[in-house]
Amino acid sequence: MKRISWFLIAVFLFAVVSLKAQVPEGATAVLNYTGLENKLKKSDADILDAKKNIKAKTWTSRAQLLIDVFNIHNDILAKGMDPARVKLFFKEPKEIQTIQEGADNIEIYVYDRVNLKFRNGLLENWTETRKIHPDPLPEARKAVDEAIKVNTDGKANSDIVAVIKNLKIAFEIGAVNAYDLKEFKTSYDNFMQIIGLNAIPLMNNLVDTLDIYYAGRAAFENKDYKEASRLFELAASHKFNDPFLYIFRKQSYFADGDTASGVKVINEGFIKYPENQAIMIELINYYLVSNQSEEALRLITVAKAGDPENTSLIFTEGFLHEKTGKFEDAEKAYKTCIESKPDVYDYNYSLGVLYYNQAVKIYENASRIADNTEFERVQKEGDEMLKLSIPYMEKASQINPADRNSVDTLRTIFYRLKAIYPEMESKYQEVLKKLSEM
């Protein structure tokens, strides 16, 4: 009859530094699409020229040009810009399309080459509709490889390193934007490009654990759990210092069916970060699903010391107390949750169920009593306990009118009590009517 759900919402924030064009306030930027197109045509010709394509400069220039093509909008746009600021760069759109997404007002500003999406008046993302180059960054990477190949005397080393650094920033922008759009495979591919660039000998086999970790996160969201585990373990082997690494390592192992490794990792995380709430909750979740109630309660006590107002922890504690037969402790925990947040369905429904189940136990005890006077006394206790369930079940039904469980429970309660308390008859008829309409 009772259902419990437990969520760990791990907040994952990407931090990315992009090179924005320095445009004076009030100035209008010129988006020189034609200039870039002409430069790209010249570069296409240069790499076919036998005298030019043996020079590293030809290839580093091409790589940087392709990076500039990729960044033509990234250099002047930023999430959160308002339409007035955008119009300084783009002027008036050809068309504004309006869409309603729930409570959010969506506007699509349509330009010749790009559509800008605003949510409630702030720029959310943008989509190129007419590209200068269909996929400039992989092409830039090819140009870097060619520059390295022809740089036999090493004179262009500094130029190549400089363009690699710019290319890494561009791939990072692409990875983060793709992640935000839930295009996790594209995000993963872009992060892997960064890792590949770091492995080039000119970069001295640089290891950037942030990029490895974020590549793992993208693989995880793409449900490629083996690859996510590989990348997370690689980040861990390079001493990446973040408690969430232990959480995602555990979740990847669990998702891939390797529970033993997952449990080992999250326990290691708890030893290293004993006061981290997210790791504690991950362990509590594990103990809950593996029916290790006492271990879960022990950790909840530790977690509450660091976050005593967390009603999710208190609620779970109440559930575990109920599960282990500690009625008074469960009642206290559920009431604490309701006092703090009276309009949460689970809190009200759970306390209603607690009283209902306790009444059932009392009725069962009464049924085993031979003495009629004692039987009636215990039966009366059950009736009073059952009555305690009513306000919480009614509140649960009010919070979620579509929920049948609370209404069905009320039907049983009123049917049981209406012979004893005549005023329950009308309530019984009301819930019957409500059930018939659900």
The domain of 380 spans: 323-437
The pLDDT tens digits for 383-399 are: 999 999 999 999 999 99
With pLDDT > 90 as the criterion, what percentage of the chain qualifies? 68
Say how far apart CA 253 and CA 188 lie, in whole Å: 19
Say how far apart CA 102 and CA 369 lie, in whole Å: 58
Average pLDDT, the chain: 88
What mean pLDDT do residues 264-278 have?
Answer: 80
The pLDDT tens digits for 41-93 are: 999 999 999 999 999 999 999 999 999 999 999 999 999 999 999 998 898 99
267, 289, 310 — which closes off a domain?
Answer: 310
Tally of domains in the chain: 3
Contact by Cβ (8 Å): 191, 211: yes
Instruction: Tell me, yes or no, whether 381 and 292 share the same domain.
Output: no
Instruction: Tell me, yes or no, whether 304 and 363 share the same domain.
Output: no
310, 332, 361 — which closes off a domain?
Answer: 310
Q: Is residue 159 part of a domain?
A: yes
CA dihedral (228, 234, 238, 240) in degrees, to 10, reads: 10
What mean pLDDT do residues 141-169 have?
Answer: 97
Instruction: Tell me, yes or no, whether 64 and 83 share the same domain.
Output: no
Instruction: Tell me, yes or no, whether 430 and 357 share the same domain.
Output: yes
The pLDDT tens digits for 209-244 are: 999 999 999 999 999 999 999 999 999 999 998 999
CATH of residue 346: 1.25.40
Q: What DSSP assignment string belongs to 20-67?
A: -----TT------HHHHHHHHHHHHHHTT-TTTTTSHHHHHHHHHHHH
Instruction: Tell me, yes or no, whether 208 and 295 share the same domain.
Output: yes
* Residue from 205, 208, 210, 211 nearest 191 by CA: 211
Element (H, E) at 96: strand 95-101
The pLDDT tens digits for 9-40 are: 232 333 333 333 333 333 233 588 999 999 99
Q: Is residue 28 part of a domain?
A: no
Instruction: Tell me, yes or no, whether 68 and 108 share the same domain.
Output: no
Q: Is residue 15 part of a domain?
A: no
What pLDDT was estimated at residue 17? 33
The pLDDT tens digits for 167-184 are: 999 999 999 999 998 999
Q: Give residue 275's pLDDT band: very low, low, confident or very high (50, 70, 90).
A: low
The model's pTM is 0.68
